[in-house]
Structure 1
Amino acid sequence: MGVGNELKCDDGVGPYIIKKLKEENIEDNEKMLFIDAQTVPENFTGKIRKENPSHVIIVDACLMDGEPGDIKIVDKDDFANIGISTHSMSLSFFVRYLEQGTDFKIIFVGIEPESMDYDDKPTANVENAANDFIKILKGIIV
């Protein structure tokens, strides 16, 4: 699941990753579902629960006091210590809601943004990090 606002430069890194993965036709594998949640991941809770996946990977831009493009798996207990992007529902609340009555594992991947100004594409550092993440993910799932 990619989360973020595509019109705010690096905040759109989650949707950017999902779009690139869909272009690769990896989703044709019945075991994969890519969701471009934009700024409303809560709109997809029903779909996620219906699919009952083994894992949910959420990718979003987040301020972690790192260098632009740094990628980090963020523990859900650390959500309060980082700045998560511009969506309507708190991701910590969203994750807690998804976990209720389910067995799937939730992995949150944060990518340090460089700019959250209005622009329709990520900065070079964040785009490179996103493409590196896509390669890693494809190596695992393909």
Structure 2
Amino acid sequence: MLSLPWQERLHQTLRRLRNNGAEPRVALVGMGHTLYGDDGAGILLTQLLRPLERDMEGLLVVNGGSAPENCTGLLRRFMPDLVVLVDAAQLDEAPGTIQWIPSEMTSGFSASTHTLPLHLISCYLSMELVCEIVLLGIQPRRLNFGSMSLIVEAHVREMAKALEGTFKAFLTDDPGNREASICHVQEDQPIPLRLPYVCRERYL
């Protein structure tokens, strides 16, 4: 189930949703805490990808912090077809490894700073939103108090580039984007270390 690369699993899912006759609506929810090392990986990803929202009506990027269940109202108003949770997870792999984990398989993975376990968050959101839920798990190197490890930060930045290219290919009407190469996120812009906020009430 986890053998295919996460990019291919995402492409397959978006292609299937697109074949249903409408542009898919995707909510990406970063989870974690920026003060605890690599637990902030999901939050860093949301900071890198948030500018894409300006040009994509079918994309919502949410900083879920340590209590993503509190963003349910925002997600419900957006009405996504797919919710992608992004979080540090113990995968027993090399630091920075990323895996696509279907919601029904999240019970075997642990995270450190959430108010609810991953499988309960997935189950709750699935029932509330009636849509597909998946987890992109990122293997941390360290979860103690302090900054993110360089290896995990590098993988998150590469992940942001890949997601930007995928979202531009599947969430826009321009067919030329189907063949576009992965676009680059500026790597020379520092990401500030700050306490996560719960979510932005953008859809009132």
TM-score, structure 2 length as denominator?
A: 0.65
- 1:9 alignment counterpart: 37
The aligned runs of 1:105-116 (5 Å cut-off) are 105-116=132-143
Partner Cα separation in structure 2 for residue 85 and residue 75 of structure 1: 20
- Are 2:145 and 1:118 aligned? yes
User: Per chain length, whose mean CA-contact separation is higher, i.e. which structure has more relative contact order (CA < 8 Å, sep 6+)?
Assistant: 1
- 2:156 alignment counterpart: 130
- 1:47 alignment counterpart: 74
- Are 2:99 and 1:72 aligned? yes
- 1:84 alignment counterpart: 111
1:27 to 44, 53, 56: 53
User: What's the CA shift string for 1:23-71, capped at 9, x where partnerless?
Assistant: xx20112211110011010110111112111111110000111110000
Identity within the alignment, %: 29
Change (3 A) 1:102 1:43: closer
Q: Is the 2:107–2:118 Cα contact (8 Å) retained in structure 1?
A: no
Q: Is the 2:110–2:118 Cα contact (8 Å) retained in structure 1?
A: no
Task: Specify the code of the residue in structure 2 equivalent to 1:17.
Answer: L
- 2:167 alignment counterpart: 141
Which SS does the other structure have where 1:5 is aligned?
coil
Partner Cα separation in structure 2 for residue 27 and residue 101 of structure 1: 23
Q: Name stretches of at least 5 consecutive residues in structure 1 with no aligned partner.
A: none
Q: Is the 1:13–1:60 Cα contact (8 Å) retained in structure 2?
A: yes
Which SS does the other structure have where 1:100 is aligned?
helix
Which SS does the other structure have where 2:45 is aligned?
helix
Q: Is the 2:43–2:65 Cα contact (8 Å) retained in structure 1?
A: yes
Change (3 A) 1:8 1:103: same
Partner Cα separation in structure 2 for residue 84 and residue 33 of structure 1: 23
Partner Cα separation in structure 2 for residue 33 and residue 16 of structure 1: 15
Q: Is the 2:109–2:118 Cα contact (8 Å) retained in structure 1?
A: no
Q: Name stretches of at least 5 consecutive residues in structure 2 with no aligned partner.
A: 1-28, 169-204
Change (3 A) 1:117 1:102: closer
Q: Is the 1:115–1:123 Cα contact (8 Å) retained in structure 2?
A: yes
Higher mean alpha-carbon deviation, 9-18 vs 49-58, is at 49-58
Task: Specify the code of the residue in structure 2 equivalent to 1:134.
Answer: A
Q: Is the 1:60–1:85 Cα contact (8 Å) retained in structure 2?
A: no
How far the C-alpha of 1:101 sits from its partner, in A, is: 5.7
Larger Rg: 2
Partner Cα separation in structure 2 for residue 34 and residue 128 of structure 1: 20
